[in-house]
Structure 1
């Protein structure tokens, strides 16, 4: 009986350690926003408002299925990176990039927006919530070079007045240019 108890204890401990290790390896924070895709008409307007060109590096924060950076690559020749915390969205975005034949121009990373370096971006797109935009604002202002453009679908950034605000297909789009560092 002692041997059986010892064996069961070892098995239990092994299972617990393995489960804990796997949980740590795959653990991610809960997403800050629910996944709601941006309609293509709004995507097109966002990229047009940002005046995206083939020389731009577009980062989409909370990229979902990847449609914004994929459209930037297909229509403008830009390169792009999509960031999302949800591994299912990253998988879907990569599949969509393959179908669109733009895998040479775009990449998707499963990452936390608040721990990501997007200083290489010349254009950043967002469809997040007001509280997330406000939390990201100082990070964007610190990391992005002067002249970089930020476009947000539906939500502003508090008292940082947009350079432009337009209505498209029932949605509001906000546009900012990162000012020179003081």
Structure 2
């Protein structure tokens, strides 16, 4: 009898041990929007940027009406929409999720800035954003690291990159680091040094 009870106890323990990780994964997917990921190319789930953080990012990047702001992984479009509303800047948002693009376009119309911003369905590893004067990012640090050489190659000298929460590693120390509420905002300016480094890096193969 004792042996049977022990087997039942072990079975119950194993069931719970398997169930807990599954529950954690499901909870994480719900919390961070990862359940809307569309496949292996979608590297980052959709997490909204707080309004005060958006304002802080635009201020740290010193956005003006003369800028063209790109948001790589734009979600609902709030960063480029805010840049258009507050500074009269033009903007382009890139996202892999058609639902996010549809939502961003609706938000632009509601904010009456659809003449200043546009949203494109695409993989930001592959798109041409070389005309950007400001690039905004809210991405995991690992993706920032992958984007770093692409930013160096594509952006012109004097262009700025601003990131919420994630830095670019020791290879590219931030020019500015500012605390915005509970978030840390980083900013870099492309210089001739980055362009020289970019010339030595092989192109990324996404085929």
1:179: which partner in 2?
A: 191
Following superposition of structure 1 onto structure 2, how do residues 18-97 of structure 1 map, counting pairs within 5 Å? 29-97=40-108
CA separation in 1, counterparts of 2:85 and 2:47? 22
* RMSD over equivalenced CA pairs, Å: 1.1
- How far off is 1:28 after superposition? 6.3
- How far off is 1:29 after superposition? 4.8
1:80-119 CA-to-partner distances (Å, cap 9, x unmatched) read 0000111111010000000000110000001001111000
CA separation in 1, counterparts of 2:176 and 2:60? 9
- How far off is 1:75 after superposition? 0.4
Q: Which has the higher contact order (CA 8 A, sep 6+)?
A: 1
**Does 2:128 align with 1:112?**
no
1:39-62 CA-to-partner distances (Å, cap 9, x unmatched) read 000000000111100000000000
Following superposition of structure 1 onto structure 2, how do residues 94-105 of structure 1 map, counting pairs within 5 Å? 94-105=105-116
CA separation in 2, counterparts of 1:107 and 1:129? 24
Gaps of 5+ in 2: 1-37, 197-207
Helix, strand or coil at the partner of 1:113 = coil
2:179: which partner in 1?
A: 167
CA separation in 1, counterparts of 2:166 and 2:41? 21
Contact 1:155 1:174 in 2 (8 A): yes
Normalising by structure 1, report the TM-score. Answer: 0.83
Give the count of matched residue pairs. 156
CA separation in 2, counterparts of 1:130 and 1:50? 19
Following superposition of structure 1 onto structure 2, how do residues 117-128 of structure 1 map, counting pairs within 5 Å? 117-128=128-139
1:13-48 CA-to-partner distances (Å, cap 9, x unmatched) read xxxxxxxxxxxxxx8654211111000000000001
